Amino acid sequence: MGRWSRFNVASIAIGFAFLYLPIVLLVVYSFNESRLVTVWTGFSTKWYGTLLTNQALLDAAWVTLRVGVLSASAATVLGTLAALSLSRYSEFRGRTLFSGMIYAPLVMPEVITGLSMLLLFVAVGLDRGFWTVTLAHTTFTMCFVAVVVQSRLQSFDRSIEEAAMDLGATPVATFFQVTLPVILPAVLSGWVLAFTLSLDDLVIASFASGPGATTLPMRIYSQVRLGVTPEINAICTILIGIVACGVLIAALVTRRRELQRQRDERAAFAEGMSRAINPPPAAAGG
Amino acid sequence: MKSLGIFRRSFAPWADPNAKPFISFRNVTKRFGDFTAVDNLSLDIYTREFFALLGGSGCGKSTLLRMLAGFEQPTSGEIMLDGQSLSGIPPYRRPVNMMFQSYALFPHMSVEKNIAFGLKQDGMPKTEIAERVAQMLKLVKLEAFAARKPHQLSGGQRQRVALARSLAKRPKVLLLDEPLGALDKKLREETQFELMDLQYELGLTFVVVTHDQEEAMTMSDRIAVMSHGRVIQVATPAEIYEAPNSRFVAEFIGDVNMIEGKVALEDGRSILRTAEGISVALPETLAEGQSVALAVRPEKLKVSRQQPEGAGVHAMRGEIWDIAYFGDMTVFHVKLPSGKIVKASSLNATRGVEDPFGYDEQIWVSFEPQAGIVLKG
Amino acid sequence: MQRAISAVTRRLVILIPYGWLLFFFLIPFLIVLRISMSTSAVAMPPYTPVFDWSEGWARIRSALSELSFDNYVWLAGDPLYLNAYLSSLWIALVSTALTLLIAYPMAYGMAKAPTTLRPTLVMLVILPFWTSFLIRVYAWIGILKPEGLFNQFLLSMGVIREPLIILNTNWAIYIGIVYCYLPFMVLPLYSALEKMDHSLTEAALDLGCTPIQAFWRVTFPLSLPGVIAGCLLVFIPAVGEFVIPDLLGGSETLMIGRTLWNEFNGNRDWPVSSAVAVVLLLLLVVPIMLFQTAQARAERAEREGR
């Protein structure tokens, strides 16, 4: 292994400082007593209190949450199907177009996606509102789910599906009893990703939404345009807190599972070794 | 076939013209695009047989097994099982089970659940499933590991779970794809015998795919040596070794010296004459001048300082070129006057040898008249 | 029978997501294309439809002859749009270069970190991505303002006497883009560097390269796929970026995403904004195709690797 030089450590430290300092400052100043965000006058949580009375904001949060859960769930189903067709059926008509449509939204400028969605809804005569935002979010997030699930399927041992069929499971039974449980972690993280992207999106939602369906980012954006206020810092801090907790829990769970797995594997290996050196009488016969 | 004692066996349904084959491949061809994996192949396998498909990678042996399991469909031809055609029957409706090379254990299920999987698919009552699973665990001596997940097992234990799972449904035929490939050498040798015992006790038909000739020789009743999608020879291990039907089989199985020669006529009979001045009578009449080889296994070549005597013994002068000591035996590489190098092995039956052969020593190599196999083409 | 069922399942598995994407992704683009060729009107929707879906082929054929490129001609004639496109490309280019400059040493350091530490470092890079984009951009307003934290810090250190004007300049946009897209650059670089065999560098050193030569002749060329993927992942969305120039940039900063937004929401000129979008997409076709082929190659390599 190469040495971890001082230069390496420094570049990582600077990089992370750059990544985290703005967020830390934002959180810190949400507890500032002064209305002037950048002058520290003392610790206070009063801005959090005022949030609770802001009905428009609470409504927006509720809309965002519903859109997020619905679109993430639909996107997970669609994205998983897309990933399955891409990794399982190597040849079908229009596969290139299909994989193009999966990868393009990942890098497509949001203004274009948003505009085209809006024009579609107008063309088919769908009134813009809650459902159009949900449809738009489903469409662009399903591509992210597809990519996440597909990368799991890439390393999936197909022979376990064959084993299931060999043991009498029909293709449908095989999918639900073997394939899905094994790729479930990827499917779930796809859902979380889709949900986060939906919570996060401003541009596409602004295009696809109509009266009565203002999402939280839209509400925050219209306030941010008026200037930096401690209330916005407070909302942001809450959102960051929620995300941080979620990610932390997920990380701890996977880490613990990973550690457990490693311990198990080491134990099994040691057992195998001792058996190879010292075969028990039952196995040594023959 | 020459009636040598070693070829006689009590279990030999293939030699019985009235025996009905249990599995039969009839003119089976499988193409993947331009590539022909299996080429117009016909083969019969009998009940209770331990049958090995042996060959290098890409010879079509795995494709043959996968067609039997139902994962691939033949491009043409038919596969029969117990008198019924298997065409169009999906893998989950076939009375055969397979043990996968990677074991393909379900990572999210315990050992117990893995073994019960196939039984559950058949809708077997719960109590019966539990009973059968217990029986299987006992069979593979894994009772203590029932609740473990596959990643908590060693390689050898995983192999046993895979075996138990594929046997749980009591299939008519068990297909084994490189069953011992992932095990280390020592474990592999033990497990070979366990598999043989199991097959004999359960009275099942085993079809095993392997690239390991020792494995095939040790375990199976018959071996099909395959190359480029065709079966080159089907015979018992002893026949394959002692009476290969072609250069390919002779060279593929074990070590062999190919002594090249041409057909000559002597007193109206065909004989083989080699560059080393050896003449061997041929069993059949061949065209004069045709190239023919005499295959002699290294252990059938004898190295000596004196010219050997005896009726019909073939002897050649040579020089010891290289000595490879293996412990149980020593292999001498002997350079013949023609420049050809042959291998002769001798068993080290005693500890230490008085006055052993040295490098560059001029010696004789010889073999008995019956030791060579004449191979055409 | 069984075969037929599995064929039907197979078809459904492909058709459901395929159909969805066709309807919600591809057809919308065709609509954008169509509307970009119609003329604007003061109505709802504010454009004259080029053709009615209901009137059959004859109507469509006559409608096709009515398609106009007027909007495109107008775009080409107006320096505002031309400048917006050029400055978007320029800003995206500069930001991508800056991102690479910061991300490479970081990814390199991560790839050299002790193996036990690496997953944590990767998680720390991804973590900010989970927090809202909007929040991350917003955080910089408070820092970069003339009376903001950055200027306060520099003033108190005595480095400057007067506050620097950063907010509402291109520099603020560069900082915003680098900040928001840094993870997109670091991760592909890291995965390219991490799987590199360290003995390659050792071999180069053994054969007489200095460490710096070894880096430029061995490490860097081998990390190029990661560099390309990372640059495309930053460049493409940066060209059409809206939130960052809108919140951090000045009123005179022209970026095409913002121009499109204003054209659409402010002027309500749908045909022109569609034309703007079509041209933007045309500009991005080459980088997007590059990205697609890079993805396809990675996918293939992955598949053949096992």
Residue A109 clears pLDDT 90, i.e. is over it? no
pLDDT tens readout for residues C29-79: 898 888 888 776 555 566 655 545 555 566 556 666 667 788 888 888 888
Q: With 0-12 CB in 10 A as exposed, 13-18 as middle and 19+ as buried, what is C152? A: middle
State the DSSP H helix or E strand holding residue B344, giving kind and residue range, or none if neither. strand B341-347
A277 in B contact zone (CB under 8 Å):
no
pLDDT tens readout for residues A173-190: 999 999 999 999 889 989
* pLDDT in the model for residue C42: 52
Domain residue limits, chain B? 5-95+172-251, 257-376
DSSP B64-122: HHHHHHTSS--SEEEEEETTEE-TT--GGGSSEEEE-TT----TTS-HHHHHHHHHHHT
Interface of C with A in 54-113 (CB under 8 A): 102-103, 105-106, 108-110, 112-113
* pLDDT in the model for residue B2: 41
B90 in A contact zone (CB under 8 Å):
yes
Pairing of strands B96-99, B173-177: parallel
State the DSSP H helix or E strand holding residue B250, giving kind and residue range, or none if neither. helix B247-252
Assess whether the previous peptide bond of C45 is cis (omega < 30° from 0): yes
Position with higher pLDDT, C156 vs C56: C156
> Which residues in chain C have Cβ-Cβ distances shorter than 8 Å to A15?
102-103, 105-106, 109, 182, 186
Is there a domain that residue A144 lies in? Answer: yes
Is there a domain that residue A137 lies in? Answer: yes
The average pLDDT across A93-115 equals 86
CATH number for the region C75-305 comes to 1.10.3720.10
The average pLDDT across C280-285 equals 86
pLDDT tens readout for residues B184-225: 888 888 888 888 888 888 889 999 999 999 899 999 999 999
* pLDDT in the model for residue C303: 60
Is there a domain that residue A70 lies in? Answer: yes
pLDDT tens readout for residues B31-87: 998 999 999 999 999 999 999 999 998 899 999 999 999 999 999 999 999 999 998
pLDDT tens readout for residues A226-237: 777 788 888 888
> Which residues in chain B have Cβ-Cβ distances shorter than 8 Å to C2?
90, 93
| Nearest residue to A145 (alpha-carbon basis) of A207, A187, A100, A97 | A187
Is there a domain that residue A150 lies in? Answer: yes
Neighbours of B326 (CB within 10 A): 9
Cβ of B152 within 8 Å of Cβ of A286? The answer is no
Q: Mutate which of B148, B154, B160 to disrupt the A interface (most A C-beta within 10 Å)?
A: B154
Strand partners, B43: B25
pLDDT band of B24, cuts 50, 70, 90: very high
Query: What's the CATH class of domain B257-376?
Result: mainly beta
Q: Please give the Cα distance from A136 to A113 (Å, whole number).
A: 9
Contact, C72 vs C275, CB < 8 A? Answer: yes
What is the residue whose two structure tokens read 């198990």?
A: A264
Cβ of A162 within 8 Å of Cβ of B100? The answer is yes
Domain residue limits, chain C? 75-305
Is there a domain that residue A85 lies in? Answer: yes
* pLDDT in the model for residue C46: 63
CA B338 from centre of chain: 34
Is there a domain that residue A269 lies in? Answer: no
* pLDDT in the model for residue C61: 62
Domain that holds residue A195: 25-248
Mean pLDDT (chain C, rounded):
83
The average pLDDT across B249-277 equals 86
* pLDDT in the model for residue C3: 57
Q: How many CB pairs under 8 A join A and B?
A: 99
Cβ of C131 within 8 Å of Cβ of A239? The answer is yes
* pLDDT in the model for residue A176: 92
Neighbours of C40 (CB within 10 A): 19
Q: Please give the Cα distance from A40 to A37 (Å, whole number).
A: 7
A163 in B contact zone (CB under 8 Å):
yes
pLDDT band of C1, cuts 50, 70, 90: very low
Residue B356 clears pLDDT 50, i.e. is over it? yes
* pLDDT in the model for residue C54: 55
pLDDT tens readout for residues A55-87: 888 899 999 999 999 999 999 999 999 999 988
> Which residues in chain A have Cβ-Cβ distances shorter than 8 Å to B186?
276
pLDDT band of A282, cuts 50, 70, 90: very low
Q: Mutate which of C3, C38, C115, C138 to disrupt the A interface (most A C-beta within 10 Å)?
A: C138
Contact, B377 vs B247, CB < 8 A? Answer: yes
3-state secondary structure of B343: strand
Angle (CA) C5 C8 C14, round 5°: 145
The average pLDDT across B263-282 equals 82
Topology given in CATH for the domain delimited by B5-95+172-251 = Rossmann fold (3.40.50)
Is there a domain that residue A58 lies in? Answer: yes
**Quick one: closest CA in B to C2, which residue?**
B90
pLDDT tens readout for residues A123-149: 888 888 899 999 999 999 999 999 889
Q: Please give the Cα distance from B30 to B40 (Å, whole number).
A: 8
Q: Which residues of B137-162 are buried (b: 16+ CB within 10 A; e: fewer)?
A: bebbebeebeebbbebbbebbbbbbb
* pLDDT in the model for residue C110: 92
In chain A, the number of structural domains is: 1
A176 in B contact zone (CB under 8 Å):
no
C6 in B contact zone (CB under 8 Å):
yes
A227 in B contact zone (CB under 8 Å):
no
Reported ipTM exceeds the 0.85 cut: no
| Nearest residue to B176 (alpha-carbon basis) of B244, B109, B96, B293 | B96
Amino acid (1-letter code) at residue B116? A
